[in-house]
A and B are shown apart, each in its own frame.
Chain A
Amino acid sequence: MPRTYEEELKYIERINGHCWRIKKGFVPNMNVEGIFYVNNHLEKLMFEELENSTKFGGIGGFLPGMKQIANVAALPGIVGRSVGLPDVHSGYGFAIGNMAAFDYNDPKAIVSPGGVGFDINCGVRLLRTNLTEKDVQPMKEQLAQAMFDHIPVGVGSKGVIPMNAKDLEEALEMGMDWSLREGYSWAEDKEHCEEYGRMLQADPTKVSQRAKKRGLPQLGTLGAGNHYAEIQVVDEIYDRFAAGKMGIDFKGQVCVMIHCGSRGLGHQVATDALVAMEKAMKRDQIQTNDRQLACALIQSPEGQDYLKGMYAAANYAWVNRSSMTFLARQAFARCFNSAPDDLDMHLIYDVSHNIAKVEEHVMSDGKQKTLLVHRKGATRAFPPHHPLIPVDYQITGQPVLIGGTMGTCSYVLTGTEQGMKETFGSTCHGAGRALSRAKSRRNLNWYEVLDELKEKGIAIRVASPKLVQEEAPDSYKNVTDVVETCHAAGISKLAVKLRPIAVIKG
């Protein structure tokens, strides 16, 4: 018997003004509790989404964020809590904006590709320049065009940086070290990237032929959909000191943000792993609440193979972002007739928001543990003095780059101690959309054509058309709400706000 909305609510309890807990029992087999961070607006959306699913039987096969967070809490070996960041929304397996950590040394603990995402190491990097908005405005179109010319975009686009199969193997193994060797990266770029742009345990032999074939023509391409490059200007500086450490000194300062991942290669690595793990789950007697949460024991061959292949895919994404950095620097240099060095086009930082990493964390009982932290649609946010962040950010904490949806503003935050404690050093990644119910509209005249086709024996189903702007439901978790919630909750701190002045996309 499915529960009513009121019955469901009994499992959800407010902790404080921006945080709720999901109690065990909300879904079966929960090993730990779930929590999610919201502000007033986001709270409304979370609960509406849950209500819709109880009252109307959900929306197709899509589960509300709260349920997904809870299903993750039911995975074997999870420690701490299954965390929903403020931008949490429906995703394959894990929700996007869900962090979950597993005890690496627990023989029963699992790793799940759904907790990383298909676009492995989808991430964001931010370059600064010493240009002002005034410098760039008259050149804006030309600059955007130059970026367009240098960076291939769109479905089926081919990279301009020549690469053969051997190059790809090396890139998968070496990550940004490959870019550095080939001259696409500056030495300082490595320092300002998570993992120094290379996951050492990567193993290209764990990446299938098909994945490599998909990846070969796509290096240095932006793809389409929600991946983009933006020319941005600093709109607000909230934390002058932290911004200064990043080389951001004044409003109107021009920056370049690049948002993309491992494209087809990541997708194939994830797909291959899901297939292999589904098979192994019976053997290892692993059960989950959702088929999309296919997973494997971390220590099993499938688990280890996935990790090593996933790290290689992550390396590919860093090579991809490095290539695009190179191309962006070229574009600017051409337009301003100046070396990228003279334009101070340094890499501020590069963050991943679809990845799983092995990290050391101190648990609530004071004990230190090695954890496998899944961050899907979530960004690492390490605090000041953490050994894994670059020297220049030791006092301020790790920069966290939050790209809004293309065309809206973006933010830079810094990591905090509180975040380290509450979410294993994780924070949001951007924006999102809650599941919503919208009335469907039908254009009767047009549908005659479809009836005719049906009569000819063609199987057709019809989805609702897009609604006009005014009719569209407000289900949008915008980036400003999201980062302000993170800031209010203390899990990361606002530093800079950026607004786009040109967008390059597929």
Chain B
Amino acid sequence: MENYQFVVIGGGISGVTCVESIATFDSTARILLLTGTPLIKAITNYVKVSKFLEEFDIEEKPFSYLAEQYSNLVIKNQVVERLDTDKQIIVCSDNTQIHYDKLCICTGARPKLLSNTNPYVLGIRDTETVESFQKKLLTAKQIVIVGNGGIATELVYEVEHCSVIWAIKDEHISTTFFDEAAARFFLDRIQIVKEKQKLNEKRRKYEVTNQPTNVEISSSNICGGALGPDWAANRSMKGASSESRQVHIEYEVEVKNILTPEQYQQRQHPIENLPVSQEEQQWPVYVELTNGKMFGCDFIVSAIGVTPNVEMFLKSANFTLGIDGGLLVDETMRTSIKNIFACGDVCTAGWTLAEHWFQMRLWSQARQMGHYAGKCMLAYAHNEQDSLTMDFCFELFAHTTKFFNMKVVLLGNYHENDMKKYENLIRMTPGEEYIRVTLKDGRVHGCVFIGDTELEETFENLILNQIDVSAFGETLLDPNIDIADYFD
């Protein structure tokens, strides 16, 4: 039976970063990475902008380039069947047994699906499901997107030449990120034709290695690592409609029923005919919403969130779970089972959270957790756990992304749910920028920046410094004052 000091299960971003972290800080560590699907890698030279660059600058560096440097890092394509946590043994689907000193679970989360069996309901999580989506989209004229988070929001913008019906359960779009006013700011942009990406943008791009997997994956329950930022950017998301853009939003609805054409016929319920369709369309699937409306479409995208992949581990041992169903971890990323850590989407942060930080199943957080978990595992292995302190990234929630081709930066306690607890200072320039700063006792606690505001760093510092800005009142956001310079 093989023995490893450190074993990581899961080849997504948190697992790979965890391994990278251990290998960087201890080059003698014997590490094993078990992944049932192809490994995530980082493309370090961002391919973008001009034809010139594409020709010259493609250089992919798989994360495993570190593995190549460290002979003590082993990567295996294996599916884990169960754990014997007392003996600290991993049993794989091909009956291989592996003993671990310290184990980290990085199995991520999978999309919640409206239906597990309906072939017309798609979830989007990894490259395989994205490619499946792209293929189906090619012949689609109308789709229904259910969900109101990041993936749904990005998809609505990225899909072209296909009519989109966006069914959300909230009062306004993108509640995960935006308050009502910000949502309103974006609504104007939904109908515009997709713009060209701006030049010279610095964004790290992630892809999947083309490593051949010579392992038979017995169950199809395993999905690959989650897509990284800008996953949609370089992918063609074109449907079969002649009209380049049509988005229709249904608010405060959930899906009541999904019907086959036969079932629909039996109901004899009129469907919503959106202006685009000229004749009576025969759709392969029909969606009935809780507001009584019925839409026909080519397929349905289920983007209603993810659920942590914990089932197999629960069968093996009595892991404590967090309220959202993830493996509960303490401030050193330990689960409730001895010598087992967890990070990324599979875990739930169980420590006392810093005032301005909270968990969101984001790529960036998975990466941060992976890095920190690696350090923790090493510290425990060397009995140095007392010197561990949480990385600074867990002090302040920070997320940079793009929606509708506009830069969005979210800091600290920005969420709509917090707006009642704080004073909110808003600056909005139509079509250009939206800024909301949340204040309490004259100190900044959260921010939403949409557009090229150039203010992110200044306000990040204001939140971390907790400087009293009450003297400035609204002029804190006066566009004629160079506030970034003032606090430099």
A residues touching B (Cβ–Cβ < 8 Å)?
Answer: 59-62, 89-92, 96, 117-119, 122, 141-142, 144-145, 148-149, 153-156, 162, 164, 209, 213-214, 216-217, 223-227, 264, 267-268, 270-271, 354, 377, 432-433, 435-438, 443, 446, 449-450, 452-453, 456-467, 472-473, 475, 506
Contact = CB atoms under 8 A, between A and B. Distances in A.
Contacts of B433: 466
Contacts of A464: 427, 478-479
Interface in B378-433: 389, 391-393, 395, 398-400, 409, 411, 419-420, 422-430, 432-433
A462 B49 contact: no
Contacts of B478: 59-60, 463-464
Nearest to A433: B482
Interface in B119-152: none
Nearest to B395: A213
A225 B458 contact: yes
A96 B420 contact: no
Contacts of A453: 179-181, 419
A217 B488 CA distance: 20
27 contacts: A60-B472, A60-B475, A60-B476, A61-B475, A62-B486, A90-B481, A91-B485, A96-B488, A118-B461, A118-B465, A141-B52, A142-B53, A149-B44, A225-B456, A264-B464, A432-B485, A436-B480, A450-B426, A459-B422, A459-B424, A462-B474, A463-B435, A463-B475, A464-B479, A465-B427, A466-B479, A467-B479
Contacts of A91: 485-486, 488
Given A155-B398, A155-B409, A225-B458, A61 B422 contact: no
B472 A460 contact: no
A134 to B, nearest CB: 17
Contacts of A118: 461, 465, 487-488
Nearest to B423: A459
Interface string B444-474: 0000000000111110110011110001111
A432 to B, nearest CB: 7
Nearest to B200: A144
Nearest to B49: A141
A325 to B, nearest CB: 19
A466 B432 contact: yes
A209 B389 CA distance: 10
A443 B185 CA distance: 12
A164 B26 CA distance: 12
B49 A156 contact: no
Contacts of A217: 391-393
A436 B25 CA distance: 52
Contacts of B398: 155-156
A37 to B, nearest CB: 19
B295 interface: no
Contact of B428 (A142, A446, A461): A446
Interface in B186-230: 200, 202
A462 B435 CA distance: 10
Q: How large is the interface on B (under 10, 10 to 19, 20 to 34, 35 or more residues)?
A: 35 or more
Contact of A62 (B57, B393, B423, B472): B472
Given A118-B487, A141-B49, A145-B46, A59 B481 contact: yes
A122 B488 CA distance: 8
Contact of B486 (A92, A214, A224, A354): A92
Contact of B457 (A117, A472, A506): A506
Interface in B242-280: none
Contacts of B456: 154-155, 224-225
A456 B179 CA distance: 13
Contacts of A60: 471-476, 478, 481
Contact of B202 (A154, A433, A436): A154
7 closest A-B pairs by CB: A60-B475, A61-B471, A463-B477, A463-B427, A465-B429, A224-B457, A271-B465
Contacts of A450: 181, 426
Contacts, number: 203
Contact of A354 (B45, B48, B424, B488): B488
Contacts of B424: 458-461
Given A268-B464, A446-B185, 20 more contacts: A60-B473, A60-B474, A60-B478, A118-B487, A435-B480, A437-B480, A438-B479, A446-B430, A449-B184, A459-B422, A461-B423, A461-B426, A462-B427, A463-B425, A463-B474, A463-B476, A463-B478, A465-B429, A466-B479, A467-B480
Q: Select the residue from B184, B466, B488 with max chain A CB neighbours within 10 A.
A: B488
A461 B474 contact: yes
Nearest to A434: B480
B24 interface: yes
A89 B465 contact: no
Nearest to B50: A141
A467 B466 CA distance: 29
Contacts of A449: 180-181, 184
Given A60-B471, A141-B49, A214 B464 contact: yes
A462 B478 CA distance: 10
Contacts of A443: 428, 430
Given A59-B478, A217-B391, A461-B426, A452 B473 contact: no
B134 to A, nearest CB: 27
A145 B57 contact: yes
A276 to B, nearest CB: 14
A437 B432 CA distance: 22
B428 A465 contact: yes
Contacts of A144: 200
Contacts of B400: 154-156
Contacts of B480: 433, 435-438, 467, 472-473, 475
B3 interface: no
A122 to B, nearest CB: 6
Interface in B39-67: 44-46, 48-50, 52-53, 56-57
Nearest to A226: B484
Interface in B69-113: none
